[in-house]
Amino acid sequence: MSKTLIAVLVAMPALAQAAPADFPTIDRYLFVNECMQENGGSLDNMYKCSCVMDKLAENLTYAEFQDGDTATHGANTTGERGGLFRDPENIKADARKLATVKAEAQKVCNFTPKKR
């Protein structure tokens, strides 16, 4: 075994601990796909939506992203079930946090989403 390979194998556990936990590929894909669909589906939007997702992953934990995403999507549910996501303050705070970080990420990525 070469010295370089041995050095890499020895350093891997330390590198794995130093690296922040990443978002699962499926969640990245779903976010980018939804973002593209909402904004015309162009290749340019794919890169900008991917940039926004990368910035979200840099500034939120995966749990914070999940909580905000669930709160945002759940609040759009009609009727009583949607109230479970619209009414509690902690859930509204999760949605606001995601919206704030997302808005900043969109600025950094030079991305202006379509108005709904």
Extract the runs of DSSP E, i.e. beta strands, from the chain. none
- Residue 91 identity: I
Domain range for residue 38? 23-108
| 67 inside domain | yes
Distance of CA 71 to the CA centre of its chain: 13
* Domain membership flag for residue 115: no
CB 102 within 8 A of CB 69: no
4 found inside a domain: no
Token couple for 29:
């894909």
55 assigned to some structural domain: yes
Determine the Cα–Cα distance for residues 52 and 44; give it in Å rounded to an integer. Answer: 13
- What is the model's pTM? 0.74
Q: What is the mean predicted confidence (pLDDT) over 59-79?
A: 88
| 3 domain-assigned | no
9 within domain boundaries: no
- pLDDT tens column, 7-45: 333 444 543 443 445 899 999 999 999 999 999 888 889
Q: What is the number of structural domains in the chain?
A: 1
For the chain, give the number of residues.
116
Nearest to 20 by CA among 53, 55, 58, 50: 58
In a domain, residue 2? The reply is no
Please indicate, yes or no, if residue 97 is contained in any of the structural domains.
yes
Find the range with the poorest average confidence among 15-24, 31-40, 74-83, 107-116.
15-24
